[in-house]
Structure 1
Amino acid sequence: MGSYAVFLRGINVGGINIKMADLRDALKDSGFADATTLLASGNVVLSSSLGAAGVKRECEKCLRKAFGYEAWVVVVPAGRVAELVDACPYPEDDKSTHTYITFSSDTAVLDELEAAAAAIDGQDQKRLGPEALAWLAPAGGTLDSPFSKISSKTRFKAATTTRNLRTLIKVREAAAALAAAS
């Protein structure tokens, strides 16, 4: 049985509103008995014997059925989330910048995003692995940053999602607590 972080793409923005209690209940009803939600931005930790691909498939099916929208998730083994957080070279909190990690379930998509970021003058980024790219955005200007505008394009929607490093630290801690309780 493995522990996983499940990151939902595009909820509680753009008209897709899901209460975390409802999300947790739907996942539990779909067989993820220990599903735990964090914050209101679609972060879940859970354990499963399905493996990451199976968790992705079942979570997307659950979300589509329970909430009626074209759901996409990125699933990362909990231990890998911890490694990626630890490998991030940027600060957890800084007055002038925010640190983000974009996750992808498709390495080719992340390769394309990495190349796009490299072409942006002054964009600070670091590839953390085949599934993750860390990057910086100016405080107060994340959504207006050139990389954010690129990564939010429709063609990346099904395979990527982005989280603030502070959120990922909370996910790492929740996943460690889940593993310790198992």
Structure 2
Amino acid sequence: MTRYVAFLRGVNVGGVNLKMAEVARVFADAGFTAVTTVLASGNVLLDSDASTGAVRSTAEQALRAAFGYEAWVLVYDVDTVRAIDGAYPFEREVAGHHSYVTFVADAAVLDELAALPAGGEERIARGDGVLYWQVPRATTLASTIGKTMGKKRYRSSTTTRNLRTLGKVLSR
């Protein structure tokens, strides 16, 4: 049995509003065990014997069927998320800044995002399957990464979490 983290993209921001208790029920009904949600931003911990890809596919299908939206889910085992969090290359807490990890399921998209030039005080670094970035508060959506991530072509293969959220997920 493997402990996984499923990150739901675009939940409770931008129009897709889901109650996490209902999300947990859908995941349990899909056959996952020890299902727990963390915060209201689409973070689900679960146990499964299935592969990462099978967990992702099952979760997306279950969410689509239950809630009728185009669900995208990125799935990682907990140890991978812990390693990604631990490899954050910048100072973790910088006054007046947000520290983020963008999880990227498509290698070509990661190459594209990692090649973007950082603007102003924004910092960007490529990690193993992720893009690390840090940006001044109140400029996230106007930043290079923020503007790019809003494009439709990135929705199915990316999702972003701040380091504080990852810390809460990993503390469960």
Sort the TM-score into its range (normalised by shorter chain). over 0.9
Partner deviation per Cα, 1:95-128 (whole Å, 9 max, x = no partner): 2211000001111111111112xx2344312212
| Alignment check: 8 A CA contact 2:85 2:163 kept | yes
Q: TM-score with structure 1 length normalisation?
A: 0.89
- Structure 2: distance between partners of 1:111 and 1:76: 20
Identity of paired residues, percent? 45
Q: Structure 2 CA distance, aligned partners of 1:137 and 1:73?
A: 24
**Alignment-derived partner of residue 149 in structure 1:** 147
Q: Verify the 8 A CA contact 2:4 2:76 in the aligned structure 1.
A: yes
Higher relative contact order (CA 8 A, sep 6+): 1
Contact 2:118–2:124 (Cα < 8 Å) also in 1 = no
1:33 is aligned to 2:24: no
Give, in angstroms, the shift of residue 152 of structure 1: 1.7
Structure 2 Cα separation of the partners of residues 127 and 170 of structure 1: 23
The runs of at least 4 consecutive aligned structure 1 residues that moved more than 4 Å come to none
Q: Quick one: distance in 2 between partners of 1:10 and 1:82?
A: 22
Q: Which has the higher helix share?
A: 1
Q: CA deviation at 1:42?
A: 0.2
Corresponding pairs, count: 171
Compute the TM-score of the two structures, normalised by the length of structure 2: 0.94
Distance 1:15 1:86 in 2: 32
Indicate which of 127, 132, 135 corresponds to 2:133: 135
Structure 2 partner of 1:125: 124
CA contact (8 A) 1:92 1:166 kept: no
Query: Letter of the aligned partner of 1:151 in structure 2?
Result: M
Q: Which runs of 5+ in 1 are unaligned?
A: 175-182
Q: Matches of 1:154 and 1:71 in 2, distance apart?
A: 13
On the 8 A contact 1:105/1:160 being kept in 2, the answer is yes
Secondary structure at the residue paired with 1:55?
Answer: helix
* RMSD of Structure 2 on Structure 1 (CA): 1.2
Look up the SS of the partner of 2:33 in the other structure: coil
